[in-house]
Amino acid sequence: MSVTDSASGARAAEDRPLRVAVIVGSVREGRLGRAVTDWFLTTAAALDPGLQFDVVDLAEVDLPLVMPGWGGTPSPEAVAALKEISPRLAAADAFVVVTPEYNHSFPAVLKNLVDWHLREWQAKPVGFVSYGGLGGGLRAVEQLRLVFAELHAVTVRDSVSLHGPWSGLGEEGVPRDADVCTGAAKGMLGQLVWWARALRTARAERPYAA
């Protein structure tokens, strides 16, 4: 790639809207994950109307738990699921993971999605919206930071944590203290957008080599 081509690619990357994949990380019956996601999407759209969101609801993604061995071929079921989901992750400039906390960690279905992919995460920023319990899902987020660091992703420092249904989170998944939670979303999005633009330009100028 020439210097001219690199500069043109970087300018083109800067011009198009940022694409953010919002991953709903819970599939449990009676989950609040989708309601929390809807609150976040409404809040984020008001804070930054220029973002494009793609909701990846893991309740609608049928990725098998059994993975092929090194060099093996995925099952037809896995191929079909990956054909639908992998291009959406690859097209994203950034990610927001909406996760509950299960037993001091995050749901297995979320780890499964992460493990089926590699390049899709690399050199991209990840933000978090967590919920549940007195800790607001923060222990799940801390573990996810370790996982995404291994995948060469950049997790932003600030996150949004919504504390359990009996305290800060209403039955419909809407925070009771809307001002505080909106402020947290604003801080997280500001960092996510900064990193998304910086890393998108960097990837356009020079492909990331893990």
| pLDDT tens per residue, range 4-47 | 565 555 565 577 999 999 999 999 998 889 999 999 999 999 99
The 10s digit of each residue's pLDDT in 47-92 is 999 999 999 999 999 999 999 998 899 999 999 999 999 999 999 9
Average pLDDT over residues 134-157: 96
Average pLDDT over every residue of 172-178: 77
Q: What is the 3-state secondary structure (H, E, C) of the chain?
A: CCHHHHHHHHHHHHHCCCEEEEEECCCCCCCCHHHHHHHHHHHHHHHCCCCEEEEEEHHHCCCCCCCCCCCCCCCHHHHHHHHHHHHHHHHCCEEEEEEECECCECCHHHHHHHHCCCCCCCCCEEEEEEECCCCCCHHHHHHHHHHHHHCCCEECCCCEEECCCCCCECCCCCECCHHHHHHHHHHHHHHHHHHHHHHHHHHHHCCCCC
pLDDT in tens, 187-204: 999 999 999 999 999 999
Chosen CATH of 18-63+75-205 out of 3.40.50.40, 3.40.50.360, 1.10.8.640, 3.40.50.720: 3.40.50.360
- The pLDDT assigned to 71 comes to 87
- Specify the pTM: 0.90
pLDDT at residue 93 greater than cutoff 90: yes
Q: Tens digits of per-residue pLDDT, 100-125?
A: 999 999 999 999 999 999 999 999 99
